[in-house]
C-alpha cells in the first residue's frame, strides 16, 4: 500500500498542508467507478509541484497521496456542510464538481467502508497535522498553517462566474490573527493577481479545526485558480506561468512567517509590560 501521505520536516514555524493533490485510490475502488470518476477531475492538479519551494523556506510539508474520492481530508468526519448557502461536496464524494456520477450504477460507499477509510486515510493525516503544529508551537512559541488548494477557474455548480486568481480564507478571521492576515493580504495585493479574502472559499475543515489564534496557531487557506499555472483542458503544467506564481506565493509565505514572528514579539512585550 502506498503511504497515506508524504511528509517533510522543516525548521521554520510553518506547516504547509496539501490535502487534494493525491491520485491513488483505495483497493478495489477503481473497478466500481465510472469513466468520469476514474479521471479524478476534481484533483488539485500539480499543487505539490507548485509548492516545491516550501522546503527552501524551512517549512514542514504534508501532502496526501490518495485522492479526495477516497475520503476528503478537508471535511470533518461528521460530514457536515462547510457552507450553509453552498453545494457541499461531502466527505465521501459521489458526484464530480460538474455533477457526473463517480460510481457505477448501484455502487456506493458502505458504512463499514467509510469507517475503514476514515481510520486508514483521514485519521493519520490529521494526527500528523495536529502533532506537528504542537511541536512547532512548543519550539517557536507559535505555529502557522497554510492549507494549499487549487480548482478550475469556472465551476458553475460551486460558484458563479470566473473565480479570482487567489482566494484566501481565514474563516472570517477566526482561524488567524488580524495583524497576520493584514500583512499577508498586503503582500498578496502587491502581486499581479486578483486577490480576495473570505469570499467563496473562507477555509475548510483543516483551517477551521486547527486555526486557534488565541492558542498561538494561525491558519489560512489559499484556493488558487488553476488557469494561473496550468492548461485546464489538457491538465498540463505550464512552467513559465507556474514559476511566476510560485514566486509570488513564496513572497506571501515569507510575509506570513514574518507577521507571525512579529505577532509573538508583540504579545511577549505586552506580557512583560503587564507584569512590570
Structure confidence at residue 43 (pLDDT): 98
Mean pLDDT, rounded, for 119-124: 99
Q: pLDDT tens digits for 145-154?
A: 999 999 999 9
- Percent pLDDT > 90 in the chain is 87
Structure confidence at residue 260 (pLDDT): 95
Q: pLDDT tens digits for 72-89?
A: 999 999 877 666 666 667
pLDDT band, residue 158 (cuts 50/70/90): confident
pLDDT band, residue 36 (cuts 50/70/90): very high
pLDDT of 31 strictly over 60: yes
Helical segments of 158-201, H only = 178-189
Half-sphere exposure of 30 (CA within 13 A, CB side): 7
Nearest CA-CA partner of 50 in 8, 74, 16:
16
Report the CATH architecture of 5-275: 3-Layer(aba) Sandwich (3.40)
Structure confidence at residue 272 (pLDDT): 37
Structure confidence at residue 81 (pLDDT): 67
- Is the distance from CB of 200 to CB of 125 less than 8 angstroms? no
Nearest CA-CA partner of 25 in 104, 102, 111:
102
pLDDT of 64 strictly over 70: yes
Q: pLDDT tens digits for 221-247?
A: 999 999 999 999 999 999 999 999 999
pLDDT of 63 strictly over 80: yes
Structure confidence at residue 82 (pLDDT): 66
Domain boundaries defined on the chain: 5-275
Nearest CA-CA partner of 149 in 213, 212, 85, 202:
202
Amino acid at each position: 500500500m502506498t503511504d497515506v501521505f508524504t511528509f517533510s520536516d522543516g525548521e521554520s514555524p510553518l506547516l504547509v498542508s496539501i490535502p487534494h493533490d493525491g491520485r491513488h485510490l483505495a483497493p478495489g475502488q477503481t473497478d466500481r467507478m465510472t469513466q468520469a470518476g476514474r479521471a479524478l477531475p476534481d484533483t488539485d492538479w500539480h499543487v505539490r509541484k507548485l509548492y516545491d519551494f516550501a522546503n527552501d523556506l524551512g517549512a514542514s510539508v504534508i501532502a496526501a497521496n490518495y485522492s479526495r474520492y477516497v475520503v476528503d481530508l478537508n471535511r470533518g468526519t461528521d460530514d457536515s456542510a462547510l457552507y450553509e448557502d453552498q453545494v457541499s461536496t461531502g466527505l465521501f464524494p459521489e458526484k464530480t464538481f460538474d455533477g457526473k456520477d463517480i460510481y457505477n450504477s448501484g455502487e456506493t460507499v458502505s458504512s463499514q467502508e467509510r469507517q475503514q477509510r476514515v481510520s486508514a486515510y483521514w485519521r493519520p493525516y490529521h494526527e500528523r497535522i495536529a502533532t506537528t503544529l504542537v511541536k512547532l508551537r512548543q519550539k517557536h512559541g507559535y505555529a502557522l498553517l497554510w492549507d494549499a488548494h487549487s480548482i478550475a477557474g469556472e465551476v458553475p455548480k460551486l460558484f458563479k462566474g470566473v473565480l479570482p486568481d487567489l482566494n484566501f480564507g481565514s474563516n472570517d478571521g477566526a482561524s488567524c490573527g488580524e495583524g497576520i492576515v493584514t500583512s499577508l493580504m498586503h503582500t498578496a495585493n502587491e502581486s499581479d493577481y486578483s486577490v480576495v479574502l473570505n469570499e467563496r472559499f473562507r477555509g475548510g475543515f483543516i483551517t477551521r479545526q486547527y486555526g486557534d489564534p488565541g492558542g498561538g496557531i494561525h491558519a489560512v487557506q489559499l484556493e488558487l485558480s488553476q488557469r494561473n499555472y496550468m492548461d485546464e483542458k489538457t491538465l498540463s503544467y505550464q512552467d513559465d506561468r507556474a514559476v511566476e506564481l510560485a514566486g509570488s506565493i513564496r513572497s506571501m509565505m515569507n510575509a506570513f512567517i514574518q507577521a507571525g514572528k512579529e505577532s509573538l514579539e508583540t504579545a511577549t512585550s505586552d506580557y512583560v509590560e503587564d507584569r512590570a
